[in-house]
Structures are given as structure tokens and as C-alpha cells.
Amino acid sequence: MSDDSRLCELLGALRRADERGLVMSSEALADDLGWSPGDVAGTVRDAKAAMLIWGLGSGGQPQPRFDEIELTVQGNRYLREHPPSA
């Protein structure tokens, strides 16, 4: 899976969680997406660096790990321009 595909999949999971009123963490994303914690950490790092998400840093490994992860305005815009594949 390409980096863009993984990014879109992660952002899509955050959008779906928000629509259901759920608060996501790195651990919850790993469970929801079926990814390893390392895969989530790498994609979250890229998304945060691009200011597509916001979250509260938390302890544990692998880093970075976040609680209360949310899409930013830029993240929503990115999803509109790059919709995740079904």
C-alpha cells in the first residue's frame, strides 16, 4: 500500500470515528485499521507533520503515540481531494 493510500485510510478512519462521536488514540487506530502499532506511528507522524491531524502526545512505544486524535481543517480538505478507496 502506498504512503498516500495509508494516509487516506488513517484520515478516513478518523472521520468515521468523529461521525460516530468516538475519540481515537493511536491504539484505537491500530485496532480499527488492523495495522501494527509501528505502522500507525509512522503514518500518524507523517499526518501530524503535514498538519492533517492534531492529538495529545502520550507515553508508550512505538513513538509517536497520541490520544484524542482529530482531523484538522487541512485533514478534511485532504480527504475531499484524495478520497479513500472503498
Q: Three-state SS string across 10-54, please? A: HHHHHHHHHHCCCCECHHHHHHHHCCCHHHHHHHHHHHHHCCCEE
Task: Please report the pLDDT score of residue 2 as a whole number.
Answer: 55
3-81 CATH choice from 1.20.120.330, 1.10.10.10, 3.40.50.720, 1.10.1760.20? 1.10.10.10
Task: Kindly tell me if the per-residue pLDDT of 85 is higher than 80.
Answer: no
Closest CA to 7 of 62, 48, 54, 64: 48
Contact 84, 76 (CB under 8 A): no
Task: Kindly tell me if the per-residue pLDDT of 25 is higher than 90.
Answer: yes
How far apart, in whole angstroms, are the C-alpha atoms of residue 56 and residue 64?
Answer: 10
Q: What is the mean pLDDT of residues 3-16?
A: 94
